[in-house]
Amino acid sequence: MARESLADIDVAGIVNGMDARRLGIYIVVTLFIAFFLAPLEAGILTAIKTDASISQTVPFLPPGADGVTAENVGTAFDQLYGSIINSLVMAIPATLITIVFASMAAYGLTMIDWRGQVGILVLFLIGVFVPYQAVIIPIDKFWYQVFPLAEMLEPVARLKLVEPGHLQLVPLTITHIAYGIPIVTVLFRGYYQSMPTSFIEAAKIDGKSLTSIYKDIVLPLSKPMFGVVFIYQFTQIYNEFLFSLTIIKYANATAATMTLVLSGIGASISGVDYGLRMAAAFLAALPTLVLYIAFSEQFAKGLQTGGA
């Protein structure tokens, strides 16, 4: 911070130079705002235009009064509503369970000193970076041939609590938990490493057990991190597509998630149903967009330590 204000003061000496320079910076900053928002802005405007208006007006300019319609948003809502619920029903428990497991793993791998820790940690780190293509055929074979969990759970559906079609969300949730553990563990580990060790040393000397150290000291101290990790991992799971495609497979399945249904809306490049496509894209993105606008700082923190 000191560096920045100092740079300003120094440049302020040459008043004209500073003005030109500041102006230049503002122009560049504004151009990049336009660059990053252009697809979103054009998309939102297209979503509320009539088909006629879409082909008559420039995509990034608002339509005339007679060119506005809520029809696309309505149609998109009808098509996507169920799948957004499915995505939430799957992503929220998946995120919470991943966080519990990963926090424990990170505690076991950070707070306690033992040899061989680095080896285990490297195995977790490779798990973060493995391209899912390298495990996607096994995921398909596992849930459909080796351990068809959704089929096995069908008796549960007879209790009339859930529709049988929704049971496919169970293997999908488990898959997300299993592949989410490495990255969330790495996120928690970074946080636990930066925590002051003096508390833990003192508690150890007091004869506290590892469990009570975890429950009474580490967990309360890591509350802000739980927020960061939840925002990060929920966004990842809600936005994920490859696992849904492999486990649920069809956009018209009862258990189809948001990304699966959205990918099929306006499937061909040459179609003209852009109004519907854009409306659907924004409805689908709404949960994560709201979360991002409310907690962008936590989201950025998660990215900085965890990666994309």
Partner 1 sequence: MATHEATGESVADSVGWRTKLRYVLNGDFVRSLPYWGIPFVIMGIAVYGGIGYNIAISLTDTAGIGPVDWSSLDLEMYSQALSEPSVHRAAVNTFVLLVAFTAICLVLGLFLAVLLDRQFRFKEQIQMIYLLPMSLSFVVTAKLWVWMYDAEFGVINVVLGLFGIDPINFLGNPSFSLAAIIFALIWQFSGYTMIVYLAGLRSIPGSQFEAAQIDGASTVRIYLRVIIPQLKAASVSAAVVLMVFALKTFTFLYALTGGYTPPKGTDILATLMMREAFNNVQWAYGAAIATMLLIMALGVISPYLYYQHKQGSL
- Between residue 195 and residue 254, which ones bind partner 1 under the rule CB under 8 A? 210, 214, 235, 238-242, 245-246
DSSP state of 113: -
DSSP 196-252: -THHHHHHHHTT--HHHHIIIIIHHHTHHHHHHHHHHHHHHHHH--HHHHHHT--TT
User: Cα torsion for 150, 152, 158, 161, to the nearest 10°?
Assistant: -40
Nearest distance, CB of residue 38 and partner 1, angstroms = 6
Nearest distance, CB of residue 161 and partner 1, angstroms = 26
User: Which span (62-70, 153-161, 162-170, 282-290) binds partner 1, by CB under 8 A?
Assistant: 282-290
CB 21 within 8 A of CB 249: no
DSSP 257-301: -HHHHHHHTT-STT---HHHHHHHHHHHHHHHHHHHHHSHHHHHH
User: Which span (64-72, 74-82, 121-129, 222-230) binds partner 1, by CB under 8 A?
Assistant: 121-129
Nearer of residues 89 and 291 to partner 1, judged by Cβ: 291
Nearer of residues 136 and 162 to partner 1, judged by Cβ: 136
In whole angstroms, what is the distance from residue 155 CA to residue 69 CA? 46
**CA distances in angstroms from 235 to 110, 133, 159, 213, 230, listed in the order given:** 26, 20, 32, 31, 8
Nearest distance, CB of residue 13 and partner 1, angstroms = 12
The residues, ordered by sequence, that sit 6+ positions from 200 with a Cβ below 8 Å of its Cβ are 111, 213, 217, 218
Which 146-175 residues touch partner 1, going by CB under 8 A?
175
Nearer of residues 5 and 198 to partner 1, judged by Cβ: 5
Nearest distance, CB of residue 112 and partner 1, angstroms = 4
User: Which span (62-70, 74-82, 195-203, 274-282) binds partner 1, by CB under 8 A?
Assistant: 274-282
User: Cα torsion for 257, 304, 34, 15, to the nearest 10°?
Assistant: 170
Nearer of residues 40 and 157 to partner 1, judged by Cβ: 40
In whole angstroms, what is the distance from residue 1 CA to residue 188 CA? 28
State yes or no: residue 182 binds partner 1 (CB under 8 A): yes
Which 61-100 residues touch partner 1, going by CB under 8 A?
none
Residues that bind partner 1 (rule: CB under 8 A) add up to a total of 115
User: Which span (12-20, 56-64, 77-85, 220-228) binds partner 1, by CB under 8 A?
Assistant: 56-64
Nearer of residues 165 and 266 to partner 1, judged by Cβ: 266
Any idea which residue has 């099929």 for tokens? 264
The residue from 125, 153, 157, 217 that contacts partner 1 (CB under 8 A) is 125
CB 279 within 8 A of CB 76: yes
Nearer of residues 160 and 211 to partner 1, judged by Cβ: 211
The residue from 50, 91, 124, 169 that contacts partner 1 (CB under 8 A) is 124
Nearest distance, CB of residue 67 and partner 1, angstroms = 14
In whole angstroms, what is the distance from residue 93 CA to residue 99 CA? 10
The residue from 91, 105, 170, 247 that contacts partner 1 (CB under 8 A) is 105
Which 3-32 residues touch partner 1, going by CB under 8 A?
3-8, 10-11, 25-26, 28-29, 32
The residue from 136, 195, 203, 221 that contacts partner 1 (CB under 8 A) is 136
Give me the phi and psi of 46, to 5 degrees please. Answer: -65, -35
